[in-house]
Structures are given as C-alpha cells and as structure tokens.
C-alpha cells in the first residue's frame, strides 16, 4: 500500500471502500489540508505529518487516474478553484 499517509493513503482507502458500495461512480475527489487557520512559523504550515513524507508530496511527481488511465503529473502544476455554498438555515 504505497504512501499510506493521510492523503494519499488513508483517504484513498476510504474512498475506494465507499466506491465499492455504489452501483456506479463517475468520479471521486478527495481532499485534505494541513494549512492552519492562524498561519505562522516555518512554511506557514501545520506539521501534522512526517516532514520527509510531506516534502515529497511537493517535489515528486504525483500519480493520477484520468479517463480511467493512470498517469504521472508534476506536483503543484495545476490549480483548482473550489466554491462552497453558504450554509442554509
């Protein structure tokens, strides 16, 4: 089980388990963050992980599935905008 940290790792296993329960699946998106609300300190990052494992997520290529095919992409080369709807009462 490669890179079994929080993400990729545990969340990948949990996502795969959830998908196994579904009849069909078009896509799966998983996210995790370590940037603290009150930023400060070295790198403005909350060190929740092994530092060597954390750094390799930024400098090594990432494996992704695109159109059902695995491929390697450069880490941090693409940005995604996320919008969260305002909570309703």
Q: How far apart are CA 33 and CA 79, in angstroms?
A: 15
pLDDT of residue 20: 92
pLDDT tens-digit readout, 14-66: 888 889 999 998 888 777 666 666 766 666 666 666 777 767 777 888 877 78
pLDDT of residue 8: 61
Predicted TM-score (pTM) of the model is 0.38
pLDDT of residue 21: 92
């Amino acid at each position: 089980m490669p890179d079994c940290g929080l993400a990729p790792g545990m969340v990948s296993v949990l996502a795969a388990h959830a998908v196994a329960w579904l009849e069909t699946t078009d896509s799966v998106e998983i996210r995790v963050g370590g940037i603290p609300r009150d930023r400060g300190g070295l790198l403005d990052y909350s060190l929740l992980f092994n530092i060597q494992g954390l750094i390799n997520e930024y400098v090594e290529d990432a494996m992704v599935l695109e159109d059902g095919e695995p491929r390697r992409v450069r880490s941090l080369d693409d940005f995604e905008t996320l919008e969260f709807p305002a909570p309703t009462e």
